[in-house]
Structure 1
Amino acid sequence: MNRLDYHSPMVRQAVETPTMLAPIMEASFTDEALRAALPADPSSIKQVILSGCGDSFASGAATYPAFAQLCQLPAQGISALYCGRYTTPAELDGALVVLNSISGGPSRVIESARHAKAHGAFTVAFTSNPDSPLARECDSILQLKELPDTTGTPKVIAYTASCVGLFYLAAKLAETQKKIDGAEYQAVRDALYRYGTSDFAAVADAIDETVFGYMETWSKFDRYAMLGDGGDYGAALFAGFKFPESVGRMAHWDDTENFNHVGYFHRELDKIGTAMAVSADSPTLQQAIRTARVLCEMGRIPVIATDAERELFPPEAVVCTMPRAPYPWMAAGFLHIPLTLLASYPHALEPDMLAPYRNKQHPWDNGDRLRKSHIEVL
């Protein structure tokens, strides 16, 4: 089979990241736009919360380490449900709360904005729709511009752009708080642009070929496990979301420690596809390597997305090697791309597997369950 014959819209969002991402970065994340998204007195920010639903939740889980490391502030990536209903006043006082939603319409993110503002947070609507309810609710807006039309297919490039935008915002906050100087801020900007365009372009074809070459085996699985630690957990989370979304099959996500306590005991290993996101600079790199070895010993061959050296992992493992990220927090915003291909090709190979709601079958055509859900500010 020629893999190019199976480049569905979802596959193309992954392999064509460099050409799709460049205009988004250039239009959306100018220095002026980033500064306008922050409060007039950036020194007032004492902690950071990144929040959203679904893919937008995963982007916060992948990128919060950038805020922690660059800004030297407590940072967390949490769901909008948790942000709006469970965060305490102490967590929100003096916080920068970034609410990520491409549409800006779901009730939970609007609720989170109201809850955060009521308890002293500065809120940012990170959205492609500046006229959305979320944008009207927040103190400022960071607009995602030049997103390609991906109607009717699971979103990949929008998620990648969200991760990159949050990285840019972390760098700008760090500069305005004088945690990094202007030269380092520009170095981060340049590195982000280069990594998402020319650096990834150099390996995109090889990664695509590696994943497609494993499809004969992968297509036999009917459930999936995605593993990652720290920011890499966000990449695993997003990749896991794509399986029910694209082919209607069950997936779960975990960190390597909990997997070794619980997931280790799974049965029917011939039915479980397992993948890992592993940053080269992860504090749990050695734990991830040991987990990969255990998986191979069990006959449960993992697919690994990493910017570490291929030789670190078992020879049996299927390894998709990304360019080495220039900052320890950066790879987590891109490691989802190889893992997303694992969810993209099955529905390209078997279009009948497309998840029901993509065909607007009842009850999956009812978006009101998200946009008209009751809002309650606690």
Structure 2
Amino acid sequence: MKTPTATRMYAEAQEAAAAVARQFDANAAAVEALAARLRAQPPRFIVTCARGSSDHAATYGKYLFETTLGLVTASASPSVGSVYAVRPKLDGALFVAISQSGKSPDLLRNAEIAKEAGAHVLALVNVEDSPLARLADTVLPLHAGPETSVAATKSYLCSLAALLQLASRWCGDAALREAEAGLADALADAWAQDWSALVGGLRAARNLFVLGRGLGLGAAQEAALKFKETCGLHAEAFSSAEVRHGPMAIVGPGFPVLAFAQDDDTGAGTAAVAEEFRARGAPVWLARPGAPGAGVLPLPASAHPACTPLLTVQSFYKAANALACARGHDPDVPPHLNKVTETV
């Protein structure tokens, strides 16, 4: 078996800070131009379209756009256009398609429908000459560089970073823009954090919940996917509010919970749910910037709550890679999976 530092997942995730810095520099002019266009001609609403890790990035984008711009942001089901052949009324919308490869047939079909309906199609894509990039009205390349491990890491973080850069320039918030400038260094700090307690605690686990809320919900979704994909560990993601509506009934002694708490108004509620589960005897780990105490996973201070999910996921990726190796899995080659999934 590979050691944790010998995997491609480790090497590629470690590159995220440099990739984000590269992306911010390369895309600055294009993002400024797009933001100016969107301020001059505001869309009626925003629609995202993606699958897998990219859809978790879209969840982050929903909360980011709604909290910074007040624009309703909805996730389009790719099957509506590709399988049911329905043409949603998207005139005047900003249609944000997120994809690493840019060639999934259902995503392409929905982008075509959106463009024909009068939406402005924005593609966040890692492969700059992909069919999706050629189709889009505006392209923001992720600049993640080659990613050969099946598990997406740096390309996911670059997707979040692209959404963050667009939102900061579009809304004109000085604090968010300042946080954007320091994000690459903060990601490097996040990579250096020690989450070995989580690795040891989940080595023999079979199931767990991952909790997040608001801007952090997409991070919880991404972590749950990576547990399944790389570690062979069944994990389900829930909002720390929604977990109270039924799922919490099965949490008790021996049922692990990983909670991602934001440093915003959702943080106290997420931490309270984590503490309630700990009181029931569940093994609980809480990741929250600056939070002290037992069972807390360290995170560097975040310059803005919108940056916190990126730092959380970067620390998580290192732990997930180590956990996969500890459980006897190769995180680079999960069973039955390919790097590119082309869904019709």
Normalised TM-score (structure 2): 0.86
- Partners of 1:104 and 1:135 within 8 A in 2: yes
Aligned counterparts, 1:295-334, within 5 A: 295-307=277-289, 309-311=290-292, 315-326=293-304, 328-334=305-311
Aligned counterparts, 1:210-359, within 5 A: 211-266=195-250, 269-270=253-254, 272-281=255-264, 283-307=265-289, 309-311=290-292, 315-326=293-304, 328-350=305-327, 352-354=328-330, 358=333
**How far, CA to CA, are the matches of 1:140 and 1:38 in structure 2?**
13
- Partners of 2:95 and 2:121 within 8 A in 1: yes
- How far did 1:288 drift? 1.0
- How far did 1:55 drift? 0.7
Give 3-state SS (helix, strand or coil) of 2:256's partner. strand
- Partners of 2:124 and 2:139 within 8 A in 1: yes
**How far, CA to CA, are the matches of 1:191 and 1:240 in structure 2?**
27
- Partners of 1:51 and 1:77 within 8 A in 2: yes
- How far did 1:156 drift? 1.0
Give 3-state SS (helix, strand or coil) of 2:333's partner. helix
Give 3-state SS (helix, strand or coil) of 1:316's partner. coil
Classify 1:83/1:11 alpha carbon distance in 2 versus 1 (closer, same or farther; 3 Å). Answer: farther
**How far, CA to CA, are the matches of 2:76 and 2:318 in structure 1?**
25
**How far, CA to CA, are the matches of 2:146 and 2:189 in structure 1?**
25
Aligned counterparts, 1:183-202, within 5 A: 184=173, 188-194=176-182, 196-202=183-189
Normalised TM-score (structure 1): 0.79
- Partners of 2:285 and 2:297 within 8 A in 1: yes
RMSD: 3.1
- Partners of 2:66 and 2:73 within 8 A in 1: yes
Q: Percent identity?
A: 20
Letter of the 2:342 counterpart: R
Classify 1:80/1:193 alpha carbon distance in 2 versus 1 (closer, same or farther; 3 Å). Answer: farther
Q: String of CA shifts for 1:255-301, please: whole Å, max 9, x gaps.
A: 1122123222226742x4321121111x3323212201111112213
Give 3-state SS (helix, strand or coil) of 1:198's partner. helix
Look up the match of 1:376: none
2:91 to 81, 90, 93: 93
- Partners of 1:63 and 1:329 within 8 A in 2: no
Gapped regions of structure 2 (runs ≥ 5):
none
Aligned counterparts, 1:1-378, within 5 A: 6-7=4-5, 8-15=7-14, 17-27=16-26, 29-36=27-34, 42-77=40-75, 80-81=78-79, 89=88, 92-145=90-143, 147-174=144-171, 180=172, 184=173, 188-194=176-182, 196-205=183-192, 207=193, 209=194, 211-266=195-250, 269-270=253-254, 272-281=255-264, 283-307=265-289, 309-311=290-292, 315-326=293-304, 328-350=305-327, 352-354=328-330, 358=333, 364=337, 370-371=341-342, 373=344
Classify 1:295/1:15 alpha carbon distance in 2 versus 1 (closer, same or farther; 3 Å). Answer: farther
Classify 1:56/1:273 alpha carbon distance in 2 versus 1 (closer, same or farther; 3 Å). Answer: same
- How far did 1:122 drift? 0.9
Gapped regions of structure 1 (runs ≥ 5):
175-179, 374-378
- Partners of 1:47 and 1:95 within 8 A in 2: yes
Moved more, 31-40 or 56-65: 31-40
Q: String of CA shifts for 1:79-132, please: whole Å, max 9, x gaps.
A: 544686699845x23111110111101122112212222332111111122322
Give 3-state SS (helix, strand or coil) of 1:339's partner. helix
Give 3-state SS (helix, strand or coil) of 1:97's partner. strand
**How far, CA to CA, are the matches of 2:218 and 2:339 in structure 1?**
27
Moved more, 11-20 or 80-89: 80-89
Moved more, 234-243 or 316-325: 316-325
Classify 1:75/1:83 alpha carbon distance in 2 versus 1 (closer, same or farther; 3 Å). Answer: farther
Give 3-state SS (helix, strand or coil) of 1:321's partner. coil
Classify 1:256/1:155 alpha carbon distance in 2 versus 1 (closer, same or farther; 3 Å). Answer: same
Q: String of CA shifts for 1:181-218, please: whole Å, max 9, x gaps.
A: xxx46x64442130x2223434542x2x2x12442222
Give 3-state SS (helix, strand or coil) of 1:300's partner. coil
Give the total of aligned pairs: 341
